[in-house]
């Protein structure tokens, strides 16, 4: 039997509540399919670890994690203990950069049974994927503050784009679109206002589009693009965006499908030189932590994406099928209009998976 080695890192807040549900579903999947998973859990990459050790991770974290086939990650951030830029640059953003996970794959889908805040939208009306650049762009720690503490304070924060980085992101998006029915890529831009990087980004989009004559390129400024996510979600198939624009779009999209509590993400190094990382789009949600009402579906769906990337497509499809069925019939957490607990939803999906994929005992 094939055995995958997975590092599981719950992190902070509801990361610690949704991780057990994700593990429960993945373990049920291994029973029905021809593979095993060996999980090793780490309590670092968390603010608790920072408080006790003075850093977010042990110094040999990269060596430790390099030995795994993938990283299954909850959420990081507990601003009451550690400033967010310290905890995130000390963990998640380090993973994305040092493991060159340059694709952040974030699907957005409206499910039957989950009320959309957009009037009249039904299943099939919202179904696209945000391909977010994940290693460069607006996310940098380059810059500085001059005359700090005086009323002459001046702040400079640099953005960094490379042809290598833009081209590989755009090529991934076009290649993905060429394999989908609609063959359509929306590229988020802001070349009217951001006068150096964004006109350049548009040119890279045109150049890469030229390699994919069967795929339609639709460049849209980010402002109207956000409006169309709300007003005309049916326009979108694959949406390619820089790091910051992609971050914003990948909360907005799931909000239009009812909740960010079910949005998954895959932080991919497509060349498999380093482990890829699978995590919910959402964060540690301090406002609901401890109440046992966090929606575990983002975590569970992220686990399915992990299996797909590892080559277990059938297991992915069965988990997504169980999620669809649970949303149609089963318990719902409060963010989806119900009053179920985190475990109720995890248990319902596990049970449906077991029915769909009979478990040998």
In which residue are the tokens 């005086």 written? 150
- Contact between 255 and ligand IPM by CB under 6 A: the answer reads no
- CB of 205: closest distance to ligand NAD in angstroms? 27
Looking only at residues 83 through 102 of this chain, which bind ligand NAD when binding is defined by CB under 6 A?
84, 88, 92
Q: What is the token pair recorded at 358? A: 């009979």
Query: Which of Mn ion, ligand IPM, ligand NAD, none does residue 298 bind to, with CB < 5 to 8 Å depending on kind?
Result: ligand NAD
- Contact between 82 and ligand NAD by CB under 6 A: the answer reads no
In which residue are the tokens 């890279």 written? 204
For 51, list phi and psi in degrees, rounded to 5.
-65, -35
- Contact between 295 and ligand NAD by CB under 6 A: the answer reads yes
The secondary structure element, H or E, covering residue 186 is strand 184-189
- Contact between 88 and ligand IPM by CB under 6 A: the answer reads yes
Q: What's the CA gap between 7 and 67, in Å, rounded? A: 9
- Contact between 282 and ligand NAD by CB under 6 A: the answer reads yes
Among 136, 279, 312, 325, binds ligand NAD (CB under 6 A): 279
Q: State the alpha helices, DSSP H only, in 1-71.
A: 15-32, 47-53, 61-66
- Contact between 86 and ligand IPM by CB under 6 A: the answer reads no
CA 82 to chain centre: 23
For 263, list phi and psi in degrees, rounded to 5.
-85, 120
Stretch that binds ligand NAD, among 135-143, 237-245, 285-293, 347-355 (CB under 6 A): 285-293
**Contacting residues for 324 by C-beta, under 8 A, at least 6 apart:** 111, 112
Q: What's the CA gap between 304 and 307, in Å, rounded? A: 5
- Contact between 56 and ligand IPM by CB under 6 A: the answer reads no
244: DSSP letter: H
Binding residues with ligand NAD: total (CB under 6 A): 23
- Contact between 243 and ligand NAD by CB under 6 A: the answer reads no
Looking only at residues 208 through 227 of this chain, which bind ligand IPM when binding is defined by CB under 6 A?
none
Per-residue contact flags (x/-) with ligand NAD for residues 309 to 348, judged by CB under 6 A = ------------------------x-x-------------
CB 212 within 8 A of CB 176: no
- Closest Cα to residue 345, out of 22, 10, 115, 29? 22
Q: Closer to ligand NAD by CB, 95 or 201: give it.
A: 95
Q: Closer to ligand NAD by CB, 13 or 165: give it.
A: 13
Q: Closer to ligand NAD by CB, 295 or 350: give it.
A: 295
Q: What's the CA gap between 131 and 236, in Å, rounded? A: 12
Which residues here bind ligand IPM, judged by CB under 6 A?
77, 88, 247, 281, 283
**Contact residues for ligand NAD (CB under 6 A)?**
14, 75-77, 79, 84, 88, 92, 260-261, 279, 282-288, 294-295, 298, 333, 335
């Amino acid at each position: 039997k094939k055995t995958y080695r997975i590092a599981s890192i719950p992190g902070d807040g509801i990361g610690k509540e949704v991780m057990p549900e994700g593990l429960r579903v993945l373990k049920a999947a291994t029973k029905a399919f021809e593979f095993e998973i060996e999980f090793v859990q780490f309590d670092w990459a968390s603010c608790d670890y920072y408080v006790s050790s003075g850093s977010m991770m042990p110094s040999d974290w990269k060596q430790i994690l390099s030995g795994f086939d993938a990283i299954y990650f909850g959420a990081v951030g507990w601003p009451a203990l550690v400033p967010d830029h310290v905890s995130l640059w000390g963990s998640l953003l380090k993973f994305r950069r040092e493991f060159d996970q340059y694709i952040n794959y974030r699907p957005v889908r409206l499910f039957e049974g989950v009320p959309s805040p957009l009037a009249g939208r039904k299943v099939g009306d919202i179904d696209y994927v945000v391909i977010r650049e994940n290693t460069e762009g607006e996310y940098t720690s380059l810059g500085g503050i001059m005359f700090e503490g005086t009323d002459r304070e001046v702040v400079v924060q640099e953005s960094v784009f490379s042809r290598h980085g833009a081209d590989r992101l755009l090529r991934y998006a076009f290649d993905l679109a060429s394999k989908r029915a609609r063959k359509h890529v929306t590229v988020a831009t802001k070349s009217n206002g951001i006068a150096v990087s964004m006109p350049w980004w548009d040119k890279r989009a045109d150049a890469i589009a030229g390699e994919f004559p069967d795929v339609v390129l639709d460049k849209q400024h980010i402002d109207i693009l956000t409006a169309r996510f709300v007003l005309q979600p049916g326009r979108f198939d694959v949406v390619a965006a820089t790091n910051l624009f992609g971050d914003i779009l990948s909360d907005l999209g799931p909000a239009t499908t009812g909740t960010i509590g079910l949005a998954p993400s895959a932080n991919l190094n497509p060349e498999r030189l380093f482990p890829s990382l699978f995590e919910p789009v959402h964060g540690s949600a301090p406002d609901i932590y401890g109440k046992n009402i966090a929606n575990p579906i983002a975590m569970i769906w992220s686990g399915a994406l992990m299996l797909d990337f590892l080559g277990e497509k059938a297991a992915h499809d069965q988990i997504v099928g169980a999620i669809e069925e649970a949303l149609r019939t089963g318990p719902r957490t409060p963010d989806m209009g119900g009053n179920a607990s985190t475990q109720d939803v995890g248990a319902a999906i596990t049970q449906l998976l077991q029915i769909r994929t009979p478990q040998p005992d």
